[in-house]
Amino acid sequence: MPSIYNLKPAFQNLMRPVMFFLHDLKITPNGLTLSAVGGSICVGFLMTLVSMDNVKILIFPVWLFIRMALNALDGMMAREFKLQSRLGLILNEIGDLVSDAALFIPFLILCPSAEFPILFFILGGIFTEFCGLLGPALKAHRHYEGPMGKSDRAFFTGLLIVIVFFYPATIHYWKIFFAIAAALTLVTCLNRLTAIWKEANL
């Protein structure tokens, strides 16, 4: 199933010079992971304070790109410089869930009329990551199938903010958009579970 995650190898190649620069500065993978979490919490808090027509709201899509870069860099640095650790794995997985919650919960405030689709979208995102993590528990790989994985959810929400800033009336359709996105998280769960099932020969 198509997913923005499939672009990760190309994106990592673009980030490689940055990785070497950060490593020379003695910045660790865990430091990058924690920076992504801290930044997400700050941006999420900012989202609760600004209105849709405030230019500051465009910090949200900008931050999503920065967060994606940090998430790519921490894994690359850990692998290429042999800095992998159990703590890093825990921080990475828990950090993603905390970051998603911090960034997406403010949407409930921005658009109360779509609160249930947004809530289901957030919960669906949590379940997609849980399903992906079942792979190692069942002696398979960590799975990242789409169509609504972490990168896809970031792209979707970032695009919504950009569109609604320039075309405020589109917020009236958020209930539909988030309902579709929530349904796609369920498809994502099914795709990941199916792939794990096949790989683990269950």
**pLDDT confidence of residue 2:** 66
% the chain with pLDDT above 90: 89
Q: What pLDDT, in 10s, does the model give residues 111-135? A: 999 999 999 999 999 999 999 999 9
Residue 146 scores a pLDDT above 80:
yes
What residues does each domain of the chain span? Answer: 4-199
Torsion of CA 72, 76, 77, 82, to 10 degrees: 150
**pLDDT confidence of residue 201:** 83
**pLDDT confidence of residue 124:** 98
Can you tell me the distance from the alpha carbon of 185 to that of 96, in angstroms, rounded to the nearest whole number?
16
Domain 4-199 in CATH: superfamily? Answer: CDP-alcohol phosphotransferase transmembrane (TM) domain (1.20.120.1760)
Kindly state the tokens that stand for 123: 């919960």
> What is the pLDDT of the chain when averaged over all its residues?
94
**HSE value, Cβ hemisphere, 13 Å, CA-based, for 105:** 14
Residue 1 scores a pLDDT above 70:
no
User: Hey, how many other C-beta atoms are within 10 angstroms of the C-beta on 173?
Assistant: 13
| pTM of structure | 0.93
CA angle centred on 183, ends 103 and 94, rounded to 5°: 35
Residue 3 scores a pLDDT above 80:
no
Helix (H, G, I), strand (E, B) or coil at 183: helix
